[in-house]
Structure 1
Amino acid sequence: MSLTMKPLEQLDAENHSHESREEVAFYVRVKARYVEIEYWYERLFASHDIGDFERDMLPDTYDGARLWASLAAGDINNARRSIDSIFPFGSTDEILGHLKKYKEEVQQSLAALVPKQVAKALLPATVPKRRGNQQKQECPGDMLERASVFFSCTSCGERALPWSKVNVHWHERHPDIHFFDDGGWPRKKLHVRFWEEGHQTVQKILAVLRFGSQTSAAHLDSLVKSGRLYCACGDPSLELPDELIWAKLVKHLHVHLEMNYAFKNTHLMVFKGRVVTWIDDHRLQDCIKCLPLHADTSTSSHRFSADAATRTRVERHLDKIVNPVCAVCRALAADVTTPSELATIAQSCLSRNADAIVYHLKAKHGRDFREEDVTSKSS
């Protein structure tokens, strides 16, 4: 009986086909395994008291399942075992150990993003203990609590994120992407960066308030919420004190300072038959207020409000346009010959809030609302 050898090309093709089928089957099995672990992870929080752990500080469902990636991808045979048989629901020590390590890893990774010179100013080498003369070293987590430490998301551009809200932002905005941008956990590199521009803005604010650089965000949060610390501009897009936090106030001030800087080279010009200009209505020494304890805080809730007739006109006009922008800002930007971020800011969409639009025209350009001053971004 003679044996016929298959051609090498056919053998290679069959081997490749077999490997491809195995790879696809493994991928499908691992994907299904992660879905199972995600379900198990959610049941963990629904069924157990996790003590001092705050849910916002822990991995979301996507990253939480990948804390135990080896159960899905480390061993093909493991993917056929029940999760509950590996981690009995009655025993959570190992599980909570992983979660605690995750929070510490996030803190360390965020602290590592703070430039060394900034960290040096924010974190003293030693601080006195309450008792005795001994000194203790502060940990990286302490630095993250400072009023000027914020982060921005490199995935969507969101700014003014205090460290405690970075994880929350990821839960809400990026639930299907790894928090750590090098593919898993534990890792060092995150999808965020230190918000240097915001840090500089906060330093200016603290200088006006005569607060030190080591002031905590928690202290300023309490001042903001009590109405003692506020911006006196009356911008209706800014939340009222009971809904406001320090981070939002910083972002508000930073946006206005950013616009002022961008428009600083503009000058008087005629637009639609009227002289227009850019008005700086956010000089920090004038608009930042910090009231003493027990002072009347009613002024912190003042927000500009257009009269009823004007508001109706604005709302009717907004019904006709998409993505409203300020035509006056556009005209001022077009008149500047030096390229800058001004053009981008001038193209930024206005809020669809009628009060905010009337406020913008009045505060930034000294104009009453006219329909021709608000156009569609695409026009």
Structure 2
Amino acid sequence: MSVTKRVLPSGNVTWRAKVFFERRVIAQRSFARRVDAKRWEADQLAKLDTGSWIDPTRGRITFAALAEEWQGSRGHLAVRSQETTRFLLDKYVIGEIGAFPIAAISAADVERAMSAMTARGLATATRRRALSMIRLVLDYAIRDRRLSVNVARMVSLPRGGTKREPHWLRPEQLGRLVMAVPPLCQPVVLFLGLTGCRFSEMAALRVDDVVQTPHGLGVRVHRAATQSKRTSGAVFGPTKTHQTRTVPVPAALDAYVRTRVAGTAPGGYLFPSPTGGVWTNTNFRARSRWMEATRRAGVEGTTIHDLRHTAASLLIAAGADVKAVQVILGHSTATMTMDLYGHLFSEATWQAMERLPAIPLMEAPLAIEAPNSPPSSASVQ
């Protein structure tokens, strides 16, 4: 029997209910009344049948311990991604709710953790990423049948701050920027500004990745060299989308690429640093004197990633369709390309504005005055 009667030394009677699964006890509980024990047993068996049963003992693990397990399950991801989640958890999350048993965490606890981040002056984007990490950790617990509900999903993502609109350079601005950086950095800037490759993808390119296609010279983009947040060194791994693509070599760099291939031993970098090694974002900014170069080129405030947007705008202006831009830039889907650059593919918004009917105005120009300004002399009777 799964419900048994027990007589305690005090003489009181309790009823012990046990739930069996694959010939082992997975849960048990004592009740003062037999009917309550039977009702609890039936409820547990029903949850087993529907696949919604949760082991209450496994919900006692702390959030910090669960986060460590979850982090260990992400070994297949890029090192940079793992470092980012580790940093967010350790610096902003574990200190707030790390000691709580996951089954005891409430939506209010998560909201208090988010309020603490706000009080620390963290940017909206950082707080959004931190909440996303909490959600992912608790999602992991649900998949492992430790929780039945993710309370962090009841908490809204923080709002505030607007996402920076993609910024790109005009052809003449890109040309000035190329000439403003030292000669060794010029091919890098030109390549990023014309192909839209990510900086980490460019850094990982080797002469072996150059291929001759029926349409011309191309480079096979299949790895990335991201900069470690922990060591600041380059860490090699797959591309951001874990996909391989062949990017045409721009005509402006055809001679450079052919010269590198002809004069470099196999395995050498296509765009080497001054020491012949791999570029990182940090050493490139230093060697190119990026801040000074953008100022001298008249494009102050331009980031290295803006060169990727520049390539997209130039491709679209040259008549490239959505699929071509997606493939060259390495977006996971054409939808993502349209979300970022859709307004550049169509002139409909501008044409719609130009087609608005003319509004008849008075012969004299409209007098627009600032609020609370004194009336003009012409309006005084």
Give the TM-score of the pair, scaled to structure 1: 0.26
Task: Flag the structure with higher strand content.
Answer: 2
